[in-house]
Structure 1
Amino acid sequence: MGDQDRVSPFDGLWLGEAAILGHLDRSGPQTTADLVQRRGVSHRSTANSVTVVLGGGLVRAEPHPTDGRKLLLHVTEDGRAPPARTRSAHRFAQRRCRRGTQPGRAASPARLRPLLARLAAHFTGR
């Protein structure tokens, strides 16, 4: 994976790691197998990402209450910050896109170009 697979300039997380944080933040504690099923990616890929977020203190693990062979993963307060920043950035971008448009009036392609350029600049930092 290259740098383009990083979520954003302010997080520095791989997409898989960010996806795990987002799933845990939105849906609550889950096992690695639950995350594999939700994400539709390999167990190995998910396990690698879980190892990274565990090591970074973004997620904590505890024994599963009904199956001691499994670990239940919980997002920590530090782990909630990247998904919250990403959601905030998305809301900000949506507000900027809506600025200057009137309700019920579709934006023309000519008006969309500057909006798309502003979005690209916002997310790439350029």
Structure 2
Amino acid sequence: MLSAPASAAVAAELRTALGKLTRRVKLEDQMPLGQASVLGALDRAGAMTPSEPAAEQRVRPQSVARAVGLLMEQGLITRRAHPTDGRKSLVELSSAGQALLEEERGRRADWLARAIGAELTGDERPQGGHARSRSCP
């Protein structure tokens, strides 16, 4: 087990590395982040009102409304009446939206695998897998 200072140092290094990785992945994205976030939320939670992804992501409802409109124009989500509240509607992934989301996730995973192969040494690769299996149940 690591001491508190050693754990803090590892945490700081991990935060920095994850921040760099996140920025690099965003550069590779082909879909705007707001739209990808809405598709991901709908994939995880299923049909929801347009305001629910905004609350989940802690962004303004207007931002999500804009993304929802663009996604609907592209046929990636559909809108239907709310079953219990006639004032509301639900949005959900269309089959095209699900396919695009899976394609985007696969593309990101491929990019990350290539980056790992290019950036990590032969000695570092097994350590990453070993550390992950020890620390993540």
- In our comparison, the structure showing a higher alpha carbon Rg is 2
Unaligned ranges ≥5, structure 1:
107-126
TM-score (norm 1): 0.66
Aligned length: 99
After TM superposition, list the pairs within 5 Å mapping 1:1-126 onto structure 2.
Answer: 7-8=29-30, 13-99=31-117, 101-102=122-123, 103-104=126-127
Provide, for residues 5-57 of structure 1, a one-character-per-residue CA deviation record: whole Å limited to 9, x for no partner: 8932xxxx322112111111222111111111011111111111111111221
Q: Secondary structure at the match of 2:127?
A: coil
Q: How many angstroms does 1:98 deviate by?
A: 4.2
TM-score (norm 2): 0.62
1:110 alignment counterpart: none
Structure number with the higher helix fraction is 2
Q: How many angstroms does 1:87 deviate by?
A: 1.1
Q: How many angstroms does 1:90 deviate by?
A: 2.3
Pair 29,14 (structure 1): closer, same or farther in 2 beyond 3 Å: same
Calculate percent identity across the aligned residue pairs: 29
